[in-house]
Amino acid sequence: MVSNLRPRAGDLITVRVEAPDSTLGLATRLDRWDGESWQDEYVLLKQNGEQPASYLKTGSSPNAVIPDIGLPGDMNWPIKIPDEAEPGRYRIRERASVSLQPNAPQMVELSVQLQVIVAS
């Protein structure tokens, strides 16, 4: 679930996987539709404790280290739409570990499309 499917650049939105015993990573991908295919544009970092929601342009920080920690999926996790995101069609890609059966977690990739709109 995503709290706002028509955000503006710079908006905070929330991501939530409504599944018991689900786990999300700290990072989420934001892809942009270029008219023919999805382009990996940003790594979105969820707000976590003292760390504010932030983002990196894909390829802009090749030495960036993103901790591989598990966050509970059944919570609202703020993420920030990049300030420089141009209006258009985007897709949030989230990898999650979901336990569909007891003691049998599976990695799944979830995605949702959204439309970044022009700030008014």
State how far the alpha carbon of 26 is from the alpha carbons of 8, 39, 53, 86, 93, in Å: 22, 20, 10, 24, 12
The pLDDT of residue 69 is above 80: no
End-to-end CA distance of the chain: 25
The verdict on residue 7 lying in a domain is no
The verdict on residue 109 lying in a domain is yes
* Count: domains in the chain: 1
The verdict on residue 69 lying in a domain is yes
The verdict on residue 36 lying in a domain is yes
User: Which residues make beta-bridge pairs with 94?
Assistant: 110
Instruction: Please report the pLDDT score of residue 37 as a whole number.
Output: 94
What SS3 state is found at 20? coil
% residues pLDDT > 70 (the chain): 89
State the Cα angle at 84 between 62 and 5, rounded to 5°: 105
* CATH assignment of the domain containing 68: 2.60.40
State how far the alpha carbon of 65 is from the alpha carbons of 14, 79, 82, in Å: 23, 18, 19
Domain housing 42: 12-116
The verdict on residue 4 lying in a domain is no
pTM of the model: 0.79
Rounded-to-integer distance, Cα 28 and Cα 18, Å? 16
The verdict on residue 41 lying in a domain is yes
The verdict on residue 6 lying in a domain is no
19-42: average pLDDT: 86
